[in-house]
Amino acid sequence: MEQSIESVIRTAGQVVTFSYWVKASKPIDINLYIYQYFGSGGGSVGVNVINTKVIDASTTWQRMTRTFTVPSISGKNLGSGGNDKLQVYIQFPMSNTYTVDVANVQLEIGPAATEFEQRSFGEELALCQRYYEKSFNYVTAPTNGSSVSAFSHFAGLVTGISTNTVGIGGH
């Protein structure tokens, strides 16, 4: 399971805390990888921030947290394509059959995990629409295109961070 967080600059040199809830149908090992990617044409290789076994997941819900310092980007060259990012990977074993449930995932700037922010559907939709493109109105299911009368396209830019949560979250 992977999540990319735009801009490697936002977390560089910062203490961050990664947290989530997990349970599995049988005990399994879960690994956490955090990776700084400096963008295409950046002239520098990515940096593996953390590579660690996080937990032996069990059959009951457990809250997992991990606090670490993201390396500075001093001396690194960022690519000009605007595609630099921090990548978070939660890796589950490939050799077994199991069911795993993951909930309330977040990466926060700071030394402690806070309660997961439960946003309304409308607020979450508005945040997602920054990356969203659909050829029909939101409530209209796509068809073969024969009745298209309007197109919806949403785009935008982040101009600031209103909380200390950095991009992973969701419903």
Contact 108, 165 (CB under 8 A): yes
Checking if the pLDDT of 163 tops 50, the result is: no
| 84 or 40, higher pLDDT | 84
Residue 53 lies in a domain: yes
Residue 99 lies in a domain: yes
Residue 35 lies in a domain: yes
> How many domains, in total, are found in the chain?
1
Full domain range(s) for residue 19: 2-114
Checking if the pLDDT of 165 tops 50, the result is: no
Contact 130, 154 (CB under 8 A): yes
Q: What is the CATH number of the domain that holds 22?
A: 2.60.120.260
Provide mean pLDDT across the span 16-24: 91
Residue 30 lies in a domain: yes
Q: How far apart are CA 113 and CA 162, in angstroms?
A: 17
Provide mean pLDDT across the span 77-106: 86
Residue 45 lies in a domain: yes
Checking if the pLDDT of 154 tops 70, the result is: no
Residue 108 lies in a domain: yes
- The secondary structure of 25-78 as a DSSP string is SS-EEEEEEEEEE--TT-SS--EEEEEEEEEEE-SS-EEEEEEEEPPP-TT---
Provide mean pLDDT across the span 116-126: 88
Residue 95 lies in a domain: yes
